[in-house]
Amino acid sequence: MTEPADSDDTAITGYACIQQYLRTLDSSPGVYRMLDAQSRVLYVGKARNLKARVSNYARPGGHTARIDRMIRETSEMMFLTTRTETEALLLEQNLIKQLKPKYNVLLRDDKSFPNILVSKDHAFPQIKKHRGAKKQKGTYFGPFASAGAVNRTLNQLQKAFLLRNCSDSMFESRTRPCLLYQIKRCSGPCVGLIDEQGYAESVRDAERFLSGRSTRVQEELATQMQVASDAMQFERAAALRDRIRALTSVQSAQGINPRGVTEADIVALHMDSGQACVQVFFIRANQNWGNRDFYPRVAADMSPSEVMEAFLGQFYDNKEPPRQLILSHPIEDTDLMADALSGKVGRKVEILAPQRGEKAELVSGALRNARESLARKMSEGATQTKLLNGLAEAFALDGPPQRIEVYDNSHIQGTNAVGAMIVAGPEGFMKNSYRKFNIRGDDLTPGDDFGMMKEVLNRRFSRLIKEDPDRDRGHWPDLLLIDGGAGQVSAVAQILQSHGVADIPFVGVAKGVDRDAGKEEFHRPSQRPFALRHNDPVLYFVQRLRDEAHRFAIGTHRAKRAKAVGATPLDDVPGVGATRKRALLAHFGSAKAVSRANLADLKAVDGISEGLAQKIYDFFHDGG
């Protein structure tokens, strides 16, 4: 890392500041950072030749207004040299995602995508949705553009192949078929209604279909249906007919399925008035598995090539790229990006910007979607601005809020209690900023909503003060909306005063007369409650915010409750993972039986060593 040539002269900024670094740089590849007077990172860039690249910034003139402004704000630079330009590219994208510099293209929505997993750690494999690291043994198919796309496909695959989706513990505990068997969504392997070989054939057919060999699967099913019909096995023939229809339904839901593109992401960029939309279509096994739109932060003077290159680097930083990336706009360093992505996945990744043929038609369709999506977003943004202005007027705020935080709690008679915070701003709901809080207070009375809200807000503002004391990172709210009336408002006022942040406005939203939507009352400290007109757009906006907080809180509570229902004492035994837990439950029938087992019986379980058997026995008998 290179330090400033004249670190004592802290007053030097702009071109003069940058020029003083040139003496210390050589022609190595690497990454540079430009910082302002408060040491905040303004920009992160890569260079094949650091000295040549930085010298461009040291010469006045020839820069866009954005770059000129960035240079004038620069008071310090930092450098990291790398062995190759490819390493510099990868490091640049990591730093951009970590530091979120003001003048870089920034991908703001970077969640992982769901896959379909056919598990392979059981004699009767489970088919299910999977998101995150691919640690479980099995075959993964994806990515799909959304959880909805996965759920629709799974729904039809269950009809077509009758594969189970129940958990292994539920599978082991069944004594009679579940409802899915009754409605012909599962073949009932849990109670022996299909043997292992027959089930394995269904699994193989499902994998072939998901791998793109759907025509062959359907032809074989059609042949089997005809044979069953000829043999007057009409019930079997009808079941096969339903399976063929289910497969056809999956194909029709996937839309256009390109013939000449086996595995690719179609990436199309449209820019307008300083905003950008990137549409990504996922093509796998010659099938369209959906699309997702992204809205990276850009500036009006950025070129499509610059935006596209930055998007690709950040998007595939934590995702596995396909064999082809088919782009609407070529990037400047195609070979460099291809080398970086190829090295990451250990196989060739090809980057194309086609001008004609089927690939160009795919890009054209994606580009049309990007253009339409950006137009809708810009229209919604104008409406959102009006709503925020109306909110500021209704609640007597100093200006339209840029960050609204809405809080809610969820529990059943105090059990599995959670707090939830959702965030909204000029661009709508900011789902990456949502937070959930597992209520920890042991001294809380079950169902004490006041106490839960106090705990949530105490934790929230304690963390804000610790992580962003200067309030310069955009994490502090301009407005708090609380589900409740005068009592909640009074409690919130005390909490904020105790943290020394009494300058943040907050409003309690109470249901009002008869607890009807549309009759909400709004409570503020030391003021009389008031209501908005029944048809006021601002009232509808507040209702949407409150409903979204309630939806998020309920969903978080249900997930916690479901996890608690599936939990067993075995989860807390050191050394007992999913496989050994499954073996113990299969051997003894229940966790309670495991806790009562003697040492000799524990040793008899397949996969349980003598040492682990002793640990399990001690855990349940000596308080482990």
Average pLDDT over residues 595-624: 82
267, containing H or E segment: strand 263-272
Top pLDDT among 504 and 9 is at 504
**Who has greater pLDDT, 570 or 158?**
158
pLDDT of residue 255: 47
Which residues contact residue 114 at a Cβ distance below 8 angstroms, ignoring those fewer than 6 apart?
129, 130, 131, 142, 143, 144, 146, 147, 149, 150
Indicate if the pLDDT at residue 40 is higher than 70: yes
Phi then psi dihedrals of residue 25, to 5 deg: -100, 150
Q: Which residue has the higher pLDDT, 4 or 30?
A: 30
Where residue 75 falls among pLDDT bands split at 50, 70, 90?
very high
- The band of 6, judged by pLDDT with boundaries at 50, 70 and 90, is very low
Residues ≥6 apart with Cβ < 8 Å to 125: 118, 119, 138, 163, 199, 203
pLDDT band for 512, please (50, 70, 90 cuts): low
Omega within 30 of 0 (cis) for the link into 143 = yes
User: What is the rounded CA–CA span in Å between residue 222 and residue 240?
Assistant: 7
Quick one: average pLDDT of 239-263? 66
How far apart, in whole angstroms, are the C-alpha atoms of residue 508 and residue 525?
9
- Helix axis angle, 234-253 relative to 147-161, nearest 10°? 160
Place of tokens 């770059």: 67
Which pLDDT band holds residue 349 (cuts at 50, 70, 90)? very high
Q: Which residue is listed with tokens 């008679």? A: 413
pLDDT tens for residues 402-422? Answer: 999 999 888 655 566 888 999
Give yes or no for a contact between 95 and 33, defined as CB atoms under 8 angstroms apart: yes
Q: What is this structure's pTM?
A: 0.69
Domains and CATH numbers, the chain: 14-99 (3.40.1440.10), 115-253 (no CATH), 263-375 (3.30.420), 404-564 (3.30.420.340), 569-621 (1.10.150.20)
The amino acid that residue 508 corresponds to is G
Please give the radius of gyration of the chain, using alpha carbons only, rounded to the nearest integer: 29
For 431-481, write each residue's pLDDT tens digit: 889 998 888 766 666 656 777 888 889 999 999 998 888 887 788 999 999
Q: What pLDDT does 624 receive?
A: 42
